[in-house]
Amino acid sequence: MPTAAKSAAAAPLARPQATVMLSRVAHSLYWMSRYIERAENVARLLEVNLQFMFDFQGVDPTGQDQHWESLVLSSGDEELFARLYTVTDSRTVTEFLAFDLRNPASILACVYAARENARMIRDQISLEMWETINELHLFLKSQTTAAVWAAGPQDFFSKINRASHLFQGLTASTYSRSEGWEFLEFGKYIERADKTTRILDVKYHILLPSATDVGGAVDTAQWQAVLRSASALEAYRRYYVREILAWKAAEFLIFSDSFPRSLHFCMAQVDDFLRRILGETSPRPRSPAARASHRLLADLQSLTITDVLNRGLHEFLTEIQTTLDGISDEVVKTTMFYPAESELEEQQQQQQQ
Asked whether the CA dihedral 35, 322, 328, 165 is positive or negative, the reply is: negative
Per-residue confidence (pLDDT) for residue 20, from 0 to 100: 47
Angle at 94 between CA 90 and CA 99, to 5 degrees: 155
Q: Collect the ranges in the chain with pLDDT lower than 50.
A: 1-20, 208-212, 338, 340-341, 343, 349-353
Domain edges within the chain: 23-345
Count other C-beta atoms under 10 Å from residue 286's C-beta: 11
Per-residue confidence (pLDDT) for residue 91, from 0 to 100: 84
Per-residue confidence (pLDDT) for residue 225, from 0 to 100: 84
Per-residue confidence (pLDDT) for residue 7, from 0 to 100: 37
Per-residue confidence (pLDDT) for residue 13, from 0 to 100: 35
Per-residue confidence (pLDDT) for residue 285, from 0 to 100: 80
